[in-house]
Chains A and B, each alone.
Chain A
């Protein structure tokens, strides 16, 4: 019962915060709304018994990515101009609504093969074994490290002063 209540609270909070990102005029307030949405998604991970992912979400999204985005807003001084829409606003709205309809229809009419096994309770050790253990995802993890390194170097090269 507690799971259901927390799912509805945090689901509604996530959707309202996402609407705030799109519809708030002030860019800085939109960024704060985005942070609220990230926190609500972290709480949803907890209701899905993904505790490690919830911690990762708070650390990386709420901690790092939001700081990057706020820094970018501060350095580009676009706060006064707000977030105006472009010429495609009405077609984009129609496309989004149609896409949502198709998606919800497809998701709710598919017969999912639901398993009744209880989930793994603390996921950290199981996730580490899955990621780095035998037959796991060792090579993708190493490639992810190389990707992060090259992304950092690329960001420095692109953003530095001449």
Chain B
């Protein structure tokens, strides 16, 4: 039995779906941030698997994965800052109660 591209693709599809379900169904803002990180990780696995199996000597997928990691780091820094600012304002990070911008 050997490893194929499909193994990694199905694994990352499962990880992405778990992250998607968590991001859609949770009320805690920090849990939602964590689920978004899960989804970004799943996409990274896909990128690296395509790079390994389709263009093994070009490494393009790994360069893409590096840029995704950079953007994820920026996103989580700003996201945590926003969560802390909201918590300081209304002492709650339940996203069903954060409706200041709703009219």
Binding site for B on A (CB under 8 A): 3-4, 7, 11, 14-15, 18-19, 21-22, 27, 30-31, 34, 37-38, 41, 44-45, 47-50, 52-53, 56-57, 60-61, 64-65, 68-69, 71-73, 75-76, 78, 81-89, 92-93, 95-97, 99-100, 103-104, 107-108, 112-115, 117-120, 123, 126-127, 130-131, 137, 140, 144, 147-148, 151-152, 154-156, 158-159, 161
Contact = CB atoms under 8 A, between A and B. Distances in A.
Contact of A68 (B18, B54, B58, B80): B80
Contact of A158 (B3, B8, B81): B81
Given A18-B15, A92-B25, 9 more contacts: A34-B37, A53-B44, A65-B72, A104-B10, A104-B13, A107-B10, A114-B54, A130-B60, A161-B88
A100 B17 contact: yes
14 contacts: A15-B15, A18-B18, A34-B38, A45-B45, A53-B44, A61-B37, A69-B37, A72-B33, A76-B87, A107-B10, A112-B54, A115-B53, A127-B63, A151-B78
A113 B78 CA distance: 39
Contacts of A27: 28, 30-31
Interface of B: 1-11, 13-22, 24-28, 30-31, 33-35, 37-38, 41, 44-45, 48-49, 51-60, 62-63, 65-67, 69-78, 80-85, 87-88, 93, 95-96
